[in-house]
Structure 1
Amino acid sequence: MVAEAIRQVARQPRGDATRQSILDAAEKVFADLGYAAARLEDVAQAVGIRRPSIVYYFPGKQQLYDQVEADIFASMHEFVLKRVKHAEGPMAQLLALLDAWLDFLVARPTAARIIQRLVADFAPRGDNPVRFSETALRDIETVISMGIADGTFRQVSAMHMLNGVAGGALFYVCNAAQLGEGRSYDPADPAELAGFRALIHKLAKAAVLPG
């Protein structure tokens, strides 16, 4: 029994690494192809394993997709909490939240493309569209509610802010190479990113400040 326990411990890191490799590859496949067109075979090929090896960790495509989406929003929420933690006051927290979303998506463009596909495609999440994105919605609702409560912000819909201001980060990342010749840009370029960040800040302030 001791020998078997030792073997189990030895196998665990390798199993965890394989599972993570599957998730990393799946995120790119789902981002590139969309949920409907993506196949477990595509993920297996990207990892360099056979399809049955994926099924060992994830019973099917839906379960694999669920884990990819769950990881994206959990990671984004954790990233937001670290940024907002030291921001004082509703405005600073709102800008920190928007900056966190922007920086997260720039650093992880596959996540941006999956979220953008989620907005337009009911197929992978028809049963509960906010099953995993609920944390992101609550993050912005919390900041907006705090600002309204203490009089810093005017009465403004958090969902209007999400769609009218925060959602621009998705287009900024996903449209970088989709605008035709002469209009392409690198979302991670410091100058481009600084310019877009300044615009987001300006729009956010205009949307929430009284007067």
Structure 2
Amino acid sequence: MSKHPRGEATRKAILAAAEQVFADVGYEAARMEDVAQVVGIRRPSIVYHFPSKQDLYDAVESDLFENMHAASRLALKQAQGPLERLLALLDAWLDYIVQRPTAARILQRLVADVTPRHGNPVRFSELALSDMDAVIEEGVRAGCFRPINTMLVINGVSAATLFYVCNGRQLGDARAYSPSDPDMLREFRALLHRTCCAAVLA
């Protein structure tokens, strides 16, 4: 990583452009040249920071999950009790994905296409998965939650969140919505909370 401000700014611009390209076309179809064009630089400038497309993709995915984890930890610090902490974690995930819809599309693609991970699907997502593991296990130990496989909760709420963010323009004009619309987001958040409570409460 460059220690010079200009080099760091270029690196950040490359990551932002790459995130958009990977979200739009997926790992296989994405080209370094496409990213360079978005940034307004030549391909060799990208290779200076990221020698291969895999390196670039890894940096994007790492940044995505590190920031998601940071948002989760901040939310959890402000919550007390297992259920409040679980709902705070869900809210952190939802708000993060709504504010960063490219992340939602990349995550959707990761579910369907294992190519970018080469046999280690949790190399970067382990941060987020561990956050949920810890909160669920805490609730079970405290007797607040029934014993439940964390993956059932993650599949139930994560899939709903990703579809909510990605489907705003995918269901036809008559059903179109903005995921960030306050009323729509409030309704979906309440639905997410009810779903999660039904899953974990004895």
Q: Same fold (TM over 0.5)?
A: yes
Could you tell me how far apart the structure 2 residues matched to 1:181 and 1:65 are?
33
Could you tell me how far apart the structure 1 residues matched to 2:64 and 2:157 are?
20
Equivalent residue of 2:139, what SS?
helix
2:95 alignment partner, one of 103, 119, 125: 103
**Structure 1 residue 164 displacement after superposition:** 1.1
Which one has the largest radius of gyration?
Answer: 1
Cα deviation digits, residues 26-82 of structure 1 (max 9, x gap)? 000000000000000000000000000000000010000000000000000000000
Aligned AA for 2:105? Answer: R
Contact 1:80 1:97 in 2 (8 A): yes
TM-score normalised over the length of structure 2: 0.98
**Structure 1 residue 157 displacement after superposition:** 1.0
Tell me what 1:171 maps to: 163
Tell me what 2:200 maps to: 208
Cα deviation digits, residues 84-118 of structure 1 (max 9, x gap)? 11100110000000000000000000011001100
Aligned AA for 1:57? Answer: H
Contact 1:105 1:111 in 2 (8 A): yes
2:68 alignment partner, one of 68, 72, 76: 76
Tell me what 1:3 maps to: none
Cα deviation digits, residues 112-163 of structure 1 (max 9, x gap)? 1001100110111122100000011101010000000010000111100000
Q: Unaligned regions of 5+ residues in structure 1, if any?
A: 1-8
Equivalent residue of 2:144, what SS?
coil
Tell me what 1:29 maps to: 21
Equivalent residue of 2:184, what SS?
helix
Tell me what 1:141 maps to: 133
Runs of 4+ in 1 over 3 A off after TM superposition: none
TM-score normalised over the length of structure 1: 0.93
1:192 aligns with 2:184: yes
Could you tell me how far apart the structure 1 residues matched to 2:7 and 2:21 are?
21
How many positions carry a matched residue from both structures? 201
1:180 aligns with 2:172: yes
Aligned AA for 1:15? Answer: G
Q: Unaligned regions of 5+ residues in structure 2, if any?
A: none
Amino-acid identity (%): 61
Q: CA RMSD in A?
A: 1.1
